[in-house]
Structures are given as structure tokens and as C-alpha cells.
């Protein structure tokens, strides 16, 4: 079946397009069209508005959008649907923009297959300090934050299982196959996505 790619763009309060954070989701759809994308968008919006209380105040909540592409279209592809995610409430004390929380997902693994093609990751963020806690002498992802993200991901996956129009999948660019997500997890270690860091705007020197 066709694979739909949902490209989420989270704008930053500075208004610089290059500073926007992106997440990529893949869905298996019998019809990768605008009507199906609109159905998916309802559930994807719910995911982000469920975890928004963890996010940094540097997020421009009025500038969060999603472009939906049919990966079976010939490149250069144009979106089959574009929509905004509204209703996000972000006010957390900001951590550095490079700090992310990894949402890992996996499809069923069987003998004789490459397990890497059946695993995927979404680096969520940016987050506020409320997403972390000092424990064991280290600043880690708080258990409440891990549960909040994991529950939101499960709800998104369950919605796809219940709806014949779409299924959340792990997409392998190697064999161009999407395999249904059957499990996922959130570790307590923060990740770093260096490309999300802002460019230096000033410099303090000494001699």
C-alpha cells in the first residue's frame, strides 16, 4: 500500500525558518490522499497537544504545521495535504534547543531479517526544564515526562490500529516497506541534536 510521510515543522519564537524543528512520521494508507491525511492529522495533533506542557517556551505554538506526502508519487513530490497544529500551550523554562527526548519505535522482528529496518526514532523537542529531574547525580528525563510521551504515542498507535484508513509504521528507505509499529519506548537519557542549535549571534573575547 502507499506510504504517507507526515513532516511536522515546529517553529521557533525567533521566527527564523532555519531554526525550526522537524519530526517525520510514516503511515501506511490504502489511499494516501488529502482525505486520509486529514484523518491522520486529527490524531497527530492530539499527540503534540498532549505533550506540549513539556515543551520549551522558545516554541512558537502558533507556527506548527504538517505537510503530508505520498511517497509513491514521483519526486519532486508536492504535499497532498497541509495543515496546522493548533491549541498547543508551551511555557516551560527553556533548555538548550539541542536537547531532545528520543521516542523509539519498533515493528515485529523475526528470524533472518535485519532488525535495523524494523526500528525507528523520533527526536522530540525542544523541551523545558520540567521534562527533566536530577537523580543519581545526573539530569535525566523525568519518569512523568517519559510516561506522558509514551502514553501519547500509544494512543496515536491505537487510533491507527482501530482505523482501516491508516497504520503507523516503521519505514525502511532501503526496501521501501512500512511495517506496523508494535511497541515503543522512551529512555531516561536526553539526546543531543546538534543541528538544532542556533548560530552564534555575538562573541566575548579576552587577550
Classify residue 141: in a domain, yes or no: no
Classify residue 193: in a domain, yes or no: no
Give per-residue pLDDT as tens, 30-48: 999 999 999 999 999 999 9
Classify residue 80: in a domain, yes or no: yes
Task: Check whether 110 has a pLDDT greater than 90.
Answer: no
Helix, strand counts (H, E) of the chain: 2, 11
Instruction: Name the band, by pLDDT with cuts 50, 70 and 90, for residue 174.
Output: confident
Long-range interactions of 69-73: CB distance < 8 A, separation 24+? 69/4, 69/5, 69/7, 70/2, 70/3, 70/4, 70/32, 70/33, 71/2, 71/3, 71/4, 71/5, 71/26, 71/32, 71/171, 71/176, 72/2, 72/3, 72/32
Classify residue 30: in a domain, yes or no: yes
Q: What's the predicted TM-score (pTM) here?
A: 0.94
Classify residue 194: in a domain, yes or no: no
Classify residue 143: in a domain, yes or no: no
* pLDDT at 81 (0 to 100): 98
Which is nearest to 56 in space by CA: 206, 198, 205? Answer: 198
CB neighbourhood size of 93 (10 A): 9
E strand or H helix at 153: helix 143-162
* Choice between 153 and 92, residue whose per-residue pLDDT is larger: 153
Q: At what angle do helices 143-162 and 34-51 cross, to 10 degrees?
A: 160
Classify residue 76: in a domain, yes or no: yes
Which is nearest to 106 in space by CA: 180, 187, 8, 190? Answer: 180
Which is nearest to 192 in space by CA: 128, 55, 99, 58? Answer: 99
Q: Which domain holds residue 40?
A: 3-95+104-130+148-184
Classify residue 142: in a domain, yes or no: no
Domain count of the chain? Answer: 1
φ and ψ at residue 59, rounded to 5 degrees:
-75, 135
Amino acid at each position: 500500500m502507499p506510504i504517507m510521510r507526515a513532516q511536522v515543522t515546529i517553529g521557533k519564537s525567533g521566527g527564523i525558518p532555519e531554526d525550526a524543528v522537524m519530526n517525520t512520521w510514516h503511515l501506511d494508507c490504502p489511499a494516501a490522499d488529502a482525505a486520509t491525511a486529514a484523518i491522520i492529522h486529527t490524531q497527530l495533533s492530539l499527540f503534540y497537544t498532549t505533550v506540549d506542557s513539556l515543551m520549551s517556551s522558545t516554541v512558537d505554538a502558533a507556527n506548527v504545521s504538517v505537510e503530508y506526502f505520498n511517497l509513491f508519487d514521483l519526486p519532486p513530490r508536492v504535499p497532498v495535504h497541509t495543515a496546522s497544529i493548533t491549541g498547543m500551550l508551551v511555557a516551560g523554562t527553556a533548555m538548550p534547543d539541542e536537547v531532545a527526548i528520543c521516542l523509539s519505535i519498533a515493528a515485529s522482528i523475526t528470524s533472518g531479517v535485519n532488525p535495523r529496518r524494523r526500528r525507528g526514532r523520533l527526536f522530540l523537542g525542544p523541551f523545558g526544564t520540567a521534562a527533566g529531574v536530577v537523580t543519581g547525580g545526573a539530569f535525566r528525563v523525568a519518569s512523568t515526562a517519559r510516561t506522558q510521551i509514551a502514553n501519547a504515542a500509544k494512543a496515536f498507535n491505537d487510533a491507527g490500529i482501530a482505523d482501516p484508513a491508516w497504520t503507523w509504521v516503521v519505514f525502511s528507505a532501503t526496501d521501501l516497506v512500512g511495517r506496523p509499529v508494535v511497541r515503543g519506548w522512551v529512555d531516561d537519557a536526553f539526546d543531543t541534536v546538534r543541528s538544532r542549535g542556533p548560530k552564534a549571534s555575538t562573541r566575548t573575547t579576552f587577550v
